[in-house]
Amino acid sequence: MAGQAFSTVIGGKYRERVRSYTYLYAASGDPTPNTVIHCDPEKAAYYVKQGFTAVKFDPILDIMSPYNPQELSLEVLDRAEAVVRSVREAVGSKCELLIGTHGQPNTYSAIRLAKRLEKYEPLWFEEPVPPENVDEMARVARSTSIPIATGERLSTFYEFANLIEKQAASIIQMSLGRSGGILMAKKIAAMAEVHYCQIAPHLYCGPIEEAANIQLDISTPNLLIQETIETCGGFHAEILKEPLKWEDGYLIPSSKPGLGVELNEEVAAKHPCIEFDSLAASSTQPQGRKQGGS
């Protein structure tokens, strides 16, 4: 198997390209009743013109609190619905809406929010409650027609087994950097397939993890979609000798050996890693999520 793409080692190609989605970035100007942080209907329409067939956003992100889970007021629910409605109107039926909450609501609030959003036909409702309590997530899943997506915060094969067996989610979002790498993710995907679940791997470790995701994706029958950060450009392109290829809404896998990418060491050396604790201590700004995070 020397000199082969990693996808060959784990089963061979099931598809020639990988459907992708991006997170919506910050709305321009001050938020309005139809926008919140990281949610701009005009930007959603722009992504559709680029070729994306799905965008993700969090309609309650502006109330994020470390005290989870929390009750969502009627005012917050009204605004969240207005935000989702505005994005749906901007993209029509050309684009799927992926709703995230970062596990902020309690169970009752998640169910109330889901009922309001069902008429806009989201492709998924991500982490409607914190993922630690699988039974409560399963209760949300039983209470809505929107598929539940989760998994980016899970680490072991056994956590995913519990999640799937309790039918708490039907879209599994493993992170390769957290759940044990490509081979373990392949096992999780196979377990999900047996239960008619799909996978939508999470991305948070940059283009090397994305390259690994692509190798998993093209060899996995039950792939739904892959997260990207816009079109894989910017610094994520600069740090590779040959950027990941994105075309008309799809990631195009490399035919080169291994993961198909090579790090540009010169660029990497100019951007040394900064420990999070040091960064937090020196910053005068609140620590937010990464650009394009989910």
Backbone angles phi, psi at 149, to 5 degrees: -120, 140
DSSP character for 63?
A: G
> How far is it, in rounded angstroms, from Cα 58 to Cα 25?
10
Strands in the chain per DSSP E: 18-23, 54-57, 96-100, 124-126, 148-150, 171-172, 198-199, 226-228, 245-247, 250-252
Please return the burial class of 33, using the count of CB atoms within 10 Å of its CB with bins 0-12, 13-18 and 19+. exposed
Q: Assess whether 102 carries a catalytic annotation.
A: yes
> How far is it, in rounded angstroms, from Cα 67 to Cα 78?
22
- Size of the chain, expressed as the number of residues it contains: 294
> How far is it, in rounded angstroms, from Cα 28 to Cα 34?
12
The phi-psi region of residue 238 (left if phi > 0; otherwise alpha if psi is between -120 and 50; otherwise beta) is alpha
Given 38, 195, 202, 236, which residue is catalytic?
Answer: 202
> How far is it, in rounded angstroms, from Cα 90 to Cα 107?
30
> How far is it, in rounded angstroms, from Cα 290 to Cα 204?
8
DSSP character for 62?
A: G
Active site residues: 102, 202
